[in-house]
Amino acid sequence: MNGKKAIFSALFILFSISFVAVALIVIKNVRAASLKHYPLSIPKFSLSDFTSNSLNSNMQTLFVCFMPDCDYCQKEFESLLPIVDSVTNMQFIFVTAEKYDSIVNYVPVRMFENKRNVKFFGNGAEFFKQFGVKTIPTSFYYDEHKQLKGKYEGFQQFTELLNLIQNKE
């Protein structure tokens, strides 16, 4: 009887390990496939006098697409504030389709006023189209080689992003 228990236990452990391995592979492939519908490297874009060529080279970039009247966007800004304060090798580009004048007094914009690695832009409707933005908020994380590493739709706490950033530092 002990021999059967040992065989059963070994088979159960082997099955469990196999299941986890297959699940991890599937998750990785699904994530990679979901990124294929978005620019895999930062495309040329223009926001006022700021263009894709204006991005700091050798820095990671987080594009955050938002609307001023979006409650989830405001919560997302609050979750990003500690990341902006702690990460020095990343630039944060916030883009709205609204006119820039409509965001000047927007509370989250003022939260980031004196941050050197943060920029806000209005009139970004064309930017939204280029990046395939379908929902607000949507964020795109590009590494220092300008390659897409993450896309985040809807409100995020950015724990995955923080893990990705910390693994680079």
Question: By C-alpha distance, which of 69, 63, 135 is closest to 102?
Answer: 69
Residue 66: other Cβ atoms inside 10 A: 27
% of the chain beyond a pLDDT of 70: 76
pLDDT digits (tens, 9 = 90+) for 107-158: 777 888 888 899 999 999 999 999 999 999 999 999 999 999 888 899 888 7
| CATH number of this structure's domain 46-168 | 3.40.30.10
pLDDT at residue 121 in the model:
93
Instruction: State the pLDDT confidence band at 8, using cuts at 50, 70 and 90.
Output: low
CA angle 122–147–169, rounded 5-degree value: 100
User: Beta strand pairing status for 50-51 and 148-153?
Assistant: unpaired
Model confidence at 22: pLDDT above 60: no
Model confidence at 76: pLDDT above 50: yes
pLDDT at residue 125 in the model:
92
pTM as predicted: 0.74
Question: By C-alpha distance, which of 120, 105, 116 is closest to 64?
Answer: 120
* Mean pLDDT, the chain, integer: 80
Residues 6+ apart with CB under 8 A from 113: none
Q: Is the pLDDT higher at 29 or at 159?
A: 159
163-166 LR contacts (CB < 8 Å, sep 24+): 165/60, 165/83, 165/87, 165/90
Instruction: State the pLDDT confidence band at 86, using cuts at 50, 70 and 90.
Output: confident
pLDDT at residue 169 in the model:
54
* For the chain, domain boundaries: 1-36, 46-168
